[in-house]
Structure 1
Amino acid sequence: MATDIKETTHAVEAASVMKLLSARPRLLALGEPTHGEDTLLDLRNDLFRQLVEQEGYRTIAIESDCMRGLVVDDYVTSGTGTLDEVMEHGFSHGWGSSAANRELVRWMRAYNDGRPAPEQLRFAGFDGSPLEITGAASPRQALTALHGYLSARVDADLFPCTAETLDRLLGDDDRWTNTAAMMDPTRSVGKSAEANELRLLADDLVSLLDEQTPHLIKETSREDWNRARLYGRTATGLLRYHSWMADTAPSRMTRLVGVRDRMMADNLLAVAERGPALVHAHNGHLQREKSTMRMGGRPLEWWSAGALVSAHLGEEYAFLATALGTIRHQGVDTPAPDSVEGLLYALPEDRYVVDAARLATALGDTRPAPRVSPWFGYAPLDPAHLAGFDGLVFVKDVPQS
């Protein structure tokens, strides 16, 4: 079997990846089974550079706050701000402290310097807020930005409300970001009278944006209009998320994780409109299969962003999962030899991309059981999902960043 598996592996290069695919995808998704390891982000950076230089890719989208991502995009396209400021304010999840993320932003800015706009690289965050177990952001920034864009260009008598009305209904942002609300729905403002009114107003503002599309693109630009669409998606998504935070139904947590991945998917579909992009996030957000987890003793199932995007784009969406051998500084040691990771670990190279379909054939009908991780922060490969991968990236050892 080892010989058969060896024949499924190739160097981790853009050319090797493209040979696995029937056509160049509009969104090439590269997953990771854990967060915060610069080894995996360095690999992502190397692959992105090759995709830019050899395949004409122009955008990278990562699992970070979509609103903060605008700060990074402004910097790499026009040099707005300083690199230090961008790393501090342009990322969520604390990922601005990553050396690999810093190098990505530095390289993109250097690449764009002096190039015309159509040839420039673009950056996007595609997470909705971010929306994590600790809570969610206030819809203020997105909602007021959308209102501001429209109010400067659309007749006032077409508006459902004034900026002052929005400010009054939003109130103190601390009400929205109260971390206690995630575990106690009664602490959430998501179903208050003010929140319900804001949901209606946000829907009206998004509708007004759509109705005025020809005028707005002519008065500003398609780029500015697309940014306003992002404001609208984020405002309505956050208000929907907060509403479910305040709900007491048994489906509450399933709806919360589902709303988050739906927001991610909508942002990725907008990224796809620009042209070919590399997407980087956790395997669980990018897979085609249903996502599952247990929370509070209750099983949750929902469709991931990747599954939703794949349903829309078909073959224009491709997914490369990443699997690992060891993360010794987190207690993840050499995988059992009868696991998929163990079989791949026995090969001599440090990293490679695997033809997932041929690997599945080599393994035969009896798939190994999933590896069990001793650390909650690492999600091992599910061998049953191999058929849903367009390729598999394997990294043998992940040293401490």
Structure 2
Amino acid sequence: MIQFDKDVRPRLAVALAGLALLAAACAGVDTAGVTSGAVVPLDRATLADAAAKRVVGIGEATHGNKEFVQARTLIIQRLVREHGFRTVALEADFGGTAVADDYVVKGQGTAEQAATALGFDIYRTRETAALLRWIHDHNASAADADKVRLYGFDMQRYDRNKERLLRYLATVEPAQAQQAGQALAGLTDATRSTRDEAEVEAGAAAAERIAARLRDHEDAYVRRSSPEAFAVALRHAETIGRGARLQLSGAGYASKRDAWMAEAVEWIAGRDGRKLVVAGHNGHLDKTGAAFSFESMGRRLARTYGDDYFAIGTEFGTSTFLSRDDSSGERARFTVSHDTPLAGLFGAEPLGYVNLAQASATPANRRLLGSELRMGSAGDGFRSLFSALSWTYTVAMVPAKAYDALVYVPRATPVTPL
């Protein structure tokens, strides 16, 4: 039995009352006549609906489920093999993903090392390593123009970005590399949560000065390297500065992060004009930004690309996933259940894909998809108490407005840590 102190009990009562109201609201959703006629097994989905789009987003309802990573892999494989997609952007550290790109393009290191380099615990899994290994194997027999490139669009880590920035500076202006290294010494992954604000501010200002110097000396640096090397080095400097500014942003952390992630995706998309797959949490990719009170990355991408942005969301019935336990800081296993009315669209298919426009040809399906429903959503941070409070792991949204397609997993299981 969980014990609560007196201060928590009133809040828990309010939460449980809210849960009852949500359950009643879900019970009122009309599912009569909903059919699974549009569902196809994901491994047989042609993805012709997404094929012509400029940007395809692939979401995951939780970060710690095996099936969502496998769904991401199946979709990426199909888009690469049959529809000409050649760039994959992950909700991962920009510098760390550059290390993973060296593996998939040049064969440097192993798939497991590449997965670890991405910068977050959610990627240190056998399932992510399998995705990276597949991209590596595809690239091994592909012409240079057809090799899949990896990028990260997050900015919450320092070490890999610093390492690559300083390596670049050492080739174009060695004296500047030494000064930059000293100026950025206070920004490290290991001390990210313990540095005081003055130290972080000093690091942010130093990164911004380095980025400004790069811009001021662009012509000279490009002559000593290449346009590509310069552009990436500048991006590393900007990523370091933004990571530090995030630490200083307080209540504005999440909104600033999503805005910068959207800008990063646009930077990646502008690199070579190739079609792009963007993979991250549902909350960041949802076109309506239902999980947030601010303009999310997904809303920004929908505005920027319009009909050229195709969002694939994921949903579960029961989910057992790995996440950071907010009460201990350690990674732990949690289980949540979600009696979603969307399950009727998928029938008995264990990993089904539904195009929402196609499903909406049936009036009952159209009513369901146009209704506000609660969809599963758990980030990388959870508590055992939340498992009993569905509003903590669901978000109210209109599926037909949020996504173009859905993948449903009736019973999702945990990822396998490396």
Report the TM-score when normalising by structure 2. Answer: 0.73
C-alpha deviation, 1:226, in angstroms: 3.1
Counterpart-to-counterpart distance in 2, 1:63 and 1:269? 14
Give CA-to-partner distance per residue, 1:86-140, whole Å, 9 cap, x none: 344x2222245422111112222222225332221112222212xxxxxxx4x56
C-alpha deviation, 1:167, in angstroms: 4.4
The amino acid across from 1:354 in the alignment is V
Write the mapping of 1:119-158 to structure 2, written as runs, cut at 5 A. Answer: 119-129=146-156, 137=157, 139=158, 142=161, 145-146=164-165, 149-150=168-169, 152-153=171-172
Match of 1:320 in 2: 312
Residue pair 2:165, 2:236 contacting (<8 A) in 1 also: yes
Counterpart-to-counterpart distance in 1, 2:394 and 2:204? 39
Over the aligned positions, Cα root-mean-square deviation in angstroms equals 3.4
SS at match of 2:172: coil
Counterpart-to-counterpart distance in 2, 1:214 and 1:10? 53
C-alpha deviation, 1:372, in angstroms: 7.7
Alignment of 1:202 with 2:207, yes or no, is yes
Give the 3 Å change call, closer, same or farther, for CA 305–198 of structure 1 in structure 2.
same
Match of 2:344 in 1: 343
Alignment of 1:42 with 2:78, yes or no, is no
Match of 1:224 in 2: 229
Give the 3 Å change call, closer, same or farther, for CA 291–229 of structure 1 in structure 2.
farther
Counterpart-to-counterpart distance in 1, 2:128 and 2:359? 32
The amino acid across from 2:318 in the alignment is T
- Residue of structure 2 aligned with 1:80, choices 108, 112, 122: 108
Match of 2:287 in 1: 288
The amino acid across from 1:263 in the alignment is W
Residue pair 2:40, 2:353 contacting (<8 A) in 1 also: yes
Alignment of 1:393 with 2:393, yes or no, is no
Match of 1:364 in 2: 367
Alignment of 1:98 with 2:112, yes or no, is no
SS at match of 1:237: helix
Match of 2:40 in 1: 10
C-alpha deviation, 1:179, in angstroms: 2.9
Give the 3 Å change call, closer, same or farther, for CA 46–151 of structure 1 in structure 2.
same
C-alpha deviation, 1:29, in angstroms: 0.4
SS at match of 2:89: strand
Counterpart-to-counterpart distance in 2, 1:24 and 1:32? 22
The amino acid across from 1:397 in the alignment is R
C-alpha deviation, 1:320, in angstroms: 0.9
Work out the percentage of aligned pairs sharing the same amino acid: 22
Match of 1:277 in 2: 276
Write the mapping of 1:173-252 to structure 2, written as runs, cut at 5 A. Answer: 173=187, 177=191, 179=193, 189-190=196-197, 192=198, 195-196=200-201, 198-244=203-249, 252=250
Residue pair 1:27, 1:317 contacting (<8 A) in 2 also: yes
In the alignment of these two chains, the number of paired residues is 357
C-alpha deviation, 1:287, in angstroms: 1.4
Counterpart-to-counterpart distance in 1, 2:129 and 2:189? 33
C-alpha deviation, 1:164, in angstroms: 5.0
Please list every run of 5 or more consecutive structure 1 residues that lacks an aligned counterpart in the other structure: 130-136, 157-161, 181-187, 245-251, 294-300
Report the TM-score when normalising by structure 1. Answer: 0.76
Please list every run of 5 or more consecutive structure 2 residues that lacks an aligned counterpart in the other structure: 1-30, 322-333, 378-385
